[in-house]
Amino acid sequence: MKANLYTNKKHWKWALAIIALLIIAASLWYTNRLVKSIAEQETRQVKMWAAAMEQQAIMMKSTEEFFNKVSEQEQLRVDLLANAYRRVIDISTNENTAIYLEIIQNNISIPLVITDTKDNIIFSSNLPPTQEGKKTFDGEMKHYYSKFPPIKIDPGYGSVQYLHYNESLIYTELKAVLEGMIDHFMEEITLNSVGAPVIITNEDQSQILSFGNLDSLLMKDRNYVTQQLEFMRDENDPLQIEFMNTGKATVFYRTSDLVEQMRYYPMIQLVVFALFLIVAYLLFSYARRSEQNQVWAGMAKETAHQLGTPLSSLMGWIELLKMQEEPFVGTHEMEKDIERLQIVADRFSKIGSVPVPEPTDINYLIRDTMDYLQKRFSKKFEFEINLPEGELVMPLIPSLFRWVLENLTKNAVDAMGDKGKITLDLIDDGDHIHLDLSDTGKGIPKSQIKQVFNPGFTSKKRGWGLGLSLAKRIIEDYHKGKIFVKSSVVGEGTTFRITLKK
C-alpha cells in the first residue's frame, strides 16, 4: 500500500533526524569536555598563582619585619649619638671624650643637625647636597627633619641644644627598594598573567586599594563591586596580606571571564546548530516544494495538451450521431461528459499559472457540481446538501474549486465502499464561509490525520496520493483559505472543512 511507502519514508526521515541529533550530541559532548578541561586547567593556574602570591606576601612580610628591626636599630643609633654628643659637651665631667667623638665621627649614614634654641646650626652631619652650608635651621630643612621629634640635649648649665635627624641614607634606599617591591607586587596581583579578575581591599573591605582585569567604568558602581566580591568569595578564599604602609589588605580573585564565557559556549553552539538546522530545513522544504510545483505544473499542462486532441475528435463524432435519422439516446449525457472533460483539461492547464478569482455564486457552483457527481455514483450512496437560501457571491476560481469538491466527494465514496451517506453543509458566519463535507466511511486513524494532505500518502491500492495534496494547494495557494480534517472516527466517518474569507 502507498500508506506503507509513505510510512517508510517517514521512518527514514526520523532515522536521519536521529542520526543528526546524535552527531550534534557528540559534538556538544566533546566541546563541553574540552571547555571543562580548559576551565580546570585555568583554575589550576589561578590556584598556583594564588599560592605564589601568598608565598610572596609571606616573604614580603618577613622583609618588612626585618626592615622594622633595622629601623629600631637605627633609632638606637640615634639615641647613642645623642648621648655621645651630650657627653662631649658636658664640661662638668672629667671623662675621656675621645670614644664619644669617635662614635660621632663614625656616623656616615644618619643625617643630623644640632641647633640651639634660636635655630642656629651648631653641628651637622651627612646632609643632603641642597642643605650643606646652611647656618639656620628653617624652611625646607625644618620640614625635612620634621618626621621624628628632636632629641633635647641639656648638659645642665643652661645651654640647651636640639638634635634633629632623619632616616639614614641606607635606610632610605632600602625603603625605596621595598616600596618598589610592594608596587611591583600589587601590579603583579592586579595585572596577573593568568587573566584572573582581582580586587584588593583594606582590612574591613570599606575601600578598594586596587583591582585588575575588570571594567574600570563598572568598578565605579558600588553594587557591581559588591556583586563581584560575593562571586569571588564564593569561588575562592581571599588572601590576607600585610603591607608596610597600607596595613592589612585582602585579595579577592576568581577565574577569568574567558572561562565563564566558555562555560556557555556549548549552549551557544546548540542554538547555532538549531538555527542552522531550521534554516536548512526551510530552504530544503522550499526547494522541494518548488520542484514539486514545477513537476506537477509540467504534468498538468502536458495532460491538458494530450486531452485536447481526443476531445476534439469526440465532439466531431457526437455531431455525426446527432445527424442520424434516429439520434442516439445517450448523446445528451455524452455531451455533458465531454463538457466535464473540457473542464478537467482547463483545470490542468491552469496548474502552475496564476488564475484570477472571479465573483461566483458558491451556492450554484456547489449544487451544480454535486448534481453532476450524484448521477454518476451508485444509487446506494445518499447525498444531503444543506445550503443557505439565495445567492452567496464570493471570489472563486470555479474550475479549480469544482475540482476540490470532486476530489473530496470521490475520496468519501471510496472510503464508504458499497454504500453510505455524504452530507455537505455550508455555513456563513459573516466574515467567512465554512464548507463541511462528511461521510459515513471507515474514518482516518489519529496517527494519519496530519499526513493525509502530504503528497504520495494514500490508503488505496491504486492511485498516486495527490488528490488531497492538490486540493490543499488549490484552497490555500489560489483561494487563501484553509482545508483540514475537522473530525474523524474510525468506523464512523470523516468530516473535511474548507474555510474561505468572503
pLDDT at 126 over 50: yes
| Lowest mean pLDDT across 222-236, 312-326, 478-492 | 312-326
215 in a domain, yes or no?
A: no
pLDDT band with cut points at 50, 70 and 90 for residue 200: confident
The pLDDT-based confidence of 497 (bands split at 50, 70, 90) is very high
* Dihedral class, residue 215 (left if φ above 0, else alpha if ψ from -120 to 50, else beta): beta
- For residue 360, is it within any domain? yes
pLDDT tens-digit readout, 59-118:
777 777 777 787 777 777 777 777 777 666 665 555 555 665 666 667 777 888 888 888
Residue 429 has pLDDT above 80, yes or no: yes
DSSP letter, residue 244: T
Name the range with the highest mean pLDDT among 14-18, 160-164, 320-324: 160-164
Residue 499 in this model has a pLDDT that exceeds 90: yes
Domain assignment present for residue 257? The answer is: no
Q: Give φ, ψ of 439 to 5 degrees.
A: -135, 170
Residue (of 152, 167, 135) closest to 68 by Cα position: 167
Q: Does any domain span residue 256? A: no
Length of the chain in terms of residues written: 502
Note whether residue 65 is domain-resident: no
At residue 425, the pLDDT reads: 96
Measured CA distances, 186 to 47, 209, 236, 245, 246 (Å):
17, 9, 19, 13, 12
Phi/psi for 458 (5° steps) reads -160, 145
What is the number of domains present in the chain? 1
Instruction: Report percent pLDDT > 90 for the chain.
Output: 17
176-199: average pLDDT = 73
228 or 204, which is more confident? 228
Q: In this predicted structure, what is the pLDDT of residue 124?
A: 85
The CA distance from 273 to 57, in Å, is 48
Average pLDDT over residues 158-170: 79
Closest to 77 measured CA to CA, from 166, 203, 142, 9: 166
Q: Looking at the whole model, is its pTM more than 0.85?
A: no
Q: Is the distance from CB of 213 to CB of 196 less than 8 angstroms? A: yes
DSSP 295-334: HHHHHHHHHHHHHHHHHHHHHHHHHHHHTSSS--TTHHHH
Whether 186 maps to a domain, the answer reads no
Tell me: the pLDDT tens digits for 12-68? Answer: 777 877 887 888 788 778 877 877 787 777 777 777 776 777 677 777 777 777 777
The answer to the question of residue 96 being in a domain is no
The average pLDDT across 220-225 equals 89
Given a cut of 80, whether residue 288 has pLDDT beyond it is no
Range of the domain at 421: 354-501
User: What is the rounded CA–CA span in Å between residue 125 and residue 132?
Assistant: 9
Task: Return the CATH number at 444.
Answer: 3.30.565.10
Q: With respect to residue 264, please indicate whether it lies within any of the assigned structural domains.
A: no
Whole-number mean pLDDT of the chain? 79
Backbone angles phi, psi at 136, to 5 degrees: -120, 140
